[in-house]
Chains A and B, each alone.
Chain A
Amino acid sequence: MRYLLSLLLLSFFISSCAKSTLEDPHQIVIWHQMRPDERTVLKEVLDKYMAANPGIKVTALYKETEELRSGFQIAAIGGAGPDIVYGPSDQVGPFQVMEIILPLDTLFSKEYLSRFNPKALVYSHGRLYQIADKIGNHLMLIYNKALLPNPPKTMDQLIAIGEKFTHAPSNYGLVWNYTEPYFFIPFLTGYGGWVMDSLGNPTLDTPAMVAALKFMMELRDKYKIIPKSCDYETADALFKEGKAPMIINGPWSFGDYKKAGINFGVTRIPFIKETGLWPAPMVSPVGFSINASVPQWKIPEIVKLIKYLLSPEVQLEYTRHFDTIPTLESLYSDPVVRNNPIVKESENQMEVGRPMPIIPELRAVWDAMRPSYQAVLGGTESPEQAARQMQKSAVEKIKEMNE
């Protein structure tokens, strides 16, 4: 009994004072989704900021996508959570609808905002909710220069090269995480399709969807240039082991491939002659939003920090390390950006990309696409059936979501 009592006392002792950090004038908390290598740059940048601004402690916490979303919702219901959320633009939609992030147009001047690439400013219902420090974040064709000096320009070339390289099951011409519908979007757009119309209604039951699904299946079952099943980790392993010369992946993978010692180049996902279209990956900015629960008096401090994190020096630091595309227009003529071949090719791919919708309905569309898409891959549904089923399920899910 006695030791129990002392134990309780001890636990009181070790528990720190615990108020919501939102009320703490000396601490600013950021939840972000940066990769481990990006976090080291973030840390350096923040250390510099704290050294210049004594009395302010900035805490950066990594939260995985799924967890940032659920964790922030939970915290917001309780009126707590981080001061700043950093992540891709698609989370802005739901957060705005739930009113858990602040509109930013009144906090940043027009003049300040005009310095940004318009793609970096994320509006929803006419108000600004996110300012990005990177744009793009899109899929492209990454190739191993040691195996393939000249990447394909058209799908026909890609298939021809693919057939040359494929020796199943050890070597394949092309790999990517084709189980995930996000990675299917370039094919859908390459056949002229898209996920929803301008009003947010799903547009999945289209000839474009059917054609794109058929093409995917042909790559696997007719030309046999992609593995029989391939998720992200399988694709990644095959590319890193030099057993596949081409992979469809995004800028998040650059650092890792460099570390693995691969001399890679990037280029557009090849042109589809049949339709006369370039496959268009989804393009999205990645940036900062402010928690709606922050007290009024704290906002100037938060704005100051965000402005610092969006400053030219910080943006260039990221470009230098990770070949990302910055958002301040003045930086596009900077040698760091101009002389970087990967950034140039990445921009080249972005030009044909389409912005990812930010409305919450997109999630319902993903959830509707995934089962039928995978059923086609598994051979249990025909492309036509799948397209119909996706559309039906997306409409239902959107209705459920908006009830």
Chain B
Amino acid sequence: MAFNRNKMTQPQERKTRFFDSESLSPNTFAYILMIPAAIVMFGVVVYPFFYNVVLSFSNMSLRHFRDWHLIGFRQYIEVFRGQVFYTVFLKTLVWTFVNIFFHVTIGVSLALVLNRKLFGKAALRTLLILPWAIPQVIVALTWRSMFNYEYGAINLFIARYLQMAPVEWLGKPLEAFSACIITNIWLGFPFMMTIALGGLQSIPQELYEAADIDGASAWQKFWSVTYPLLKPVMIPAITLGIIWTFNNVNIIWLVSNGGEPSDQTHILVSYVYKAAFNLYRYGYAAALSMVIFAILLIFSLVFLKRTKASEAAY
């Protein structure tokens, strides 16, 4: 894909070869553009989803693995009855929002800095993408070893340069949870940085120049020019980032070694995983999944409405 500036600004007379987009109503044209994506999504998602809906009303479990039947809302009642659900839900919220907050702030700040004229910024940009590019398992385990009480780099750093007592990262609930969060922040910011870098390109330089003429400070420029124009590009990434982080089972599993210590570092999805595949409670796990799904659906609808993401910026 090579883009040529001259060609681009000159409208072309030629009709397209594949279909005559002129004879169609605008809506039909829109449908045609969308259909390929819609077919793929529909095919892959709908069947699995309804399969889970059915499972969530069933008693499928170790003792009823092949001969399961529907039992109504029992599994849902089970989900809400336990104290565990509420504490784990709270942890999931903390996990999600702390992560996303740092992903976005670090990502956007880096993008802003890297968008300036800096010596060697291409190299820095590429190096900063590495946490996204490297397979998660090995780095998660590397982080785990960095959190090691006696030999880990982090405690040695704390002891040597900050003159503080070493932290028992993996042995205490709060510390272990923080360790998971730190690892995930490290893994997640390059993605947001890339999105923000792309988004910054859509902001016309003239707007900054105009702001300069008005004597705006850097801070004012950020809020009056950068922020509103970066928003439409960042909102989808943030919305999905929240959903993915909410449902991210890998990092917790690897860094805290499956919820250690004492199952205190679980978030909702790691609970689902445990219920289904360790304790064979498929019905229960499906019901809990439906609850997670409902939580995220409600959240997204509210969030999108607030941010007006489905409407155009201009």
The answer to whether A and B touch directly, with their CB atoms under 8 angstroms apart, is yes
Q: Which residues of A contact B (CB under 8 A)?
A: 1-2, 4, 66, 69-70, 73, 77, 94, 97-100, 169, 179, 227-229, 231, 233-234, 237, 360, 363-364, 367, 370-372, 374-375, 377-378, 380, 397, 400-403
Say yes or no: is B261 at the interface (Cβ < 8 Å to chain A): yes
What CA separation (Å) do A394 and B173 show in the bound complex?
21
Task: Check A397 against B279 for contact (C-beta < 8 Å).
Answer: yes
Task: Check A378 against B262 for contact (C-beta < 8 Å).
Answer: yes
What CA separation (Å) do A66 and B257 show in the bound complex?
13
State the main secondary structure of chain B at its contact with A: loop
Task: Check A367 against B149 for contact (C-beta < 8 Å).
Answer: no
Say yes or no: is B119 at the interface (Cβ < 8 Å to chain A): no
What CA separation (Å) do A227 and B150 show in the bound complex?
8
Interface centre among B18, B65, B264, B284 (most CB of A within 10 A): B65
Q: List 14 A-B contacts (CB under 8 A).
A: A73-B65, A94-B62, A169-B150, A179-B260, A179-B261, A234-B148, A370-B263, A374-B260, A375-B261, A378-B171, A401-B61, A403-B59, A403-B61, A403-B63
What CA separation (Å) do A233 and B146 show in the bound complex?
12
Further pairs besides A73-B280, A371-B264: 20, Cβ < 8 Å: A1-B18, A2-B18, A73-B65, A73-B277, A97-B62, A97-B63, A98-B65, A169-B150, A179-B260, A228-B168, A229-B170, A360-B280, A367-B274, A372-B262, A374-B262, A378-B173, A378-B262, A397-B279, A400-B284, A403-B59
Task: Check A229 against B151 for contact (C-beta < 8 Å).
Answer: no
**Across the two chains, which residue of chain A brings its CB closest to B279?**
A401
Set of chain A residues within 8 Å of B257, measured between Cβ atoms: 179, 231
Task: Check A377 against B171 for contact (C-beta < 8 Å).
Answer: yes
Set of chain A residues within 8 Å of B277, measured between Cβ atoms: 66, 69-70, 73
Set of chain A residues within 8 Å of B279, measured between Cβ atoms: 363-364, 367, 397, 400-401
Set of chain A residues within 8 Å of B145, measured between Cβ atoms: 233
Task: Check A401 against B281 for contact (C-beta < 8 Å).
Answer: yes
Say yes or no: is B10 at the interface (Cβ < 8 Å to chain A): no
**Across the two chains, which residue of chain A brings its CB closest to B275?**
A400
Task: Check A97 against B18 for contact (C-beta < 8 Å).
Answer: no
What CA separation (Å) do A73 and B261 show in the bound complex?
28
What CA separation (Å) do A237 and B150 show in the bound complex?
13
User: Looking at the complex, which one of B149, B151, B280 makes contact with A401 (CB distance below 8 Å)?
Assistant: B280
The count of A-to-B residue pairs whose CB atoms sit within 8 angstroms is: 93
Set of chain A residues within 8 Å of B66, measured between Cβ atoms: 98-99
User: Looking at the complex, which one of B18, B63, B278 makes contact with A402 (CB distance below 8 Å)?
Assistant: B63
Q: Mark B38-68, 1 if CB is under 8 A from A, else 0.
A: 0000000000000000000001011101100
Chain B 222-267 residues near chain A, CB threshold 8 A: 257, 260-264
User: Looking at the complex, which one of A2, A4, A229 makes contact with B168 (CB distance below 8 Å)?
Assistant: A229
**Across the two chains, which residue of chain B brings its CB closest to A361?**
B62
Task: Check A378 against B278 for contact (C-beta < 8 Å).
Answer: no
Q: Mark B168-209, 1 if CB is under 8 A from A, else 0.
A: 101111000000000000000000000000000000000000
Q: Which residues of B contact A (CB under 8 A)?
A: 18, 36, 59, 61-63, 65-66, 145, 148-151, 168, 170-173, 257, 260-264, 274, 276-281, 284
User: Looking at the complex, which one of B65, B149, B281 makes contact with A400 (CB distance below 8 Å)?
Assistant: B281
Set of chain B residues within 8 Å of A2, measured between Cβ atoms: 18
What CA separation (Å) do A179 and B258 show in the bound complex?
12
A62 to chain B, nearest CB (A): 15
User: Looking at the complex, which one of B18, B63, B261 makes contact with A374 (CB distance below 8 Å)?
Assistant: B261
Set of chain A residues within 8 Å of B276, measured between Cβ atoms: 70
Set of chain A residues within 8 Å of B170, measured between Cβ atoms: 229, 231
B146 to chain A, nearest CB (A): 12
Set of chain A residues within 8 Å of B148, measured between Cβ atoms: 229, 234
Set of chain A residues within 8 Å of B284, measured between Cβ atoms: 400
Task: Check B260 against A229 for contact (C-beta < 8 Å).
Answer: no
What CA separation (Å) do A70 and B253 show in the bound complex?
16
Set of chain A residues within 8 Å of B168, measured between Cβ atoms: 228-229, 378
Task: Check B150 against A228 for contact (C-beta < 8 Å).
Answer: yes
User: Looking at the complex, which one of A377, A397, A402 makes contact with B261 (CB distance below 8 Å)?
Assistant: A377
What CA separation (Å) do A179 and B176 show in the bound complex?
14
**Across the two chains, which residue of chain B brings its CB closest to A237?**
B151
What CA separation (Å) do A233 and B150 show in the bound complex?
13
B8 to chain A, nearest CB (A): 21
What CA separation (Å) do A364 and B62 show in the bound complex?
12
Task: Check A98 against B62 for contact (C-beta < 8 Å).
Answer: yes
A149 to chain B, nearest CB (A): 28
B144 to chain A, nearest CB (A): 8
Give the 8 A-B residue pairs with the shortest CB-CB distance, closest first: A371-B262, A98-B65, A70-B277, A374-B261, A169-B150, A229-B149, A371-B263, A374-B262
A79 to chain B, nearest CB (A): 11
What CA separation (Å) do A97 and B61 show in the bound complex?
10
Set of chain B residues within 8 Å of A70, measured between Cβ atoms: 276-277
What CA separation (Å) do A2 and B257 show in the bound complex?
49
What CA separation (Å) do A70 and B273 show in the bound complex?
10
Set of chain B residues within 8 Å of A97, measured between Cβ atoms: 62-63, 65
A203 to chain B, nearest CB (A): 20
What CA separation (Å) do A228 and B166 show in the bound complex?
12
What CA separation (Å) do A57 and B168 show in the bound complex?
51
What CA separation (Å) do A250 and B265 show in the bound complex?
29
What CA separation (Å) do A67 and B276 show in the bound complex?
12
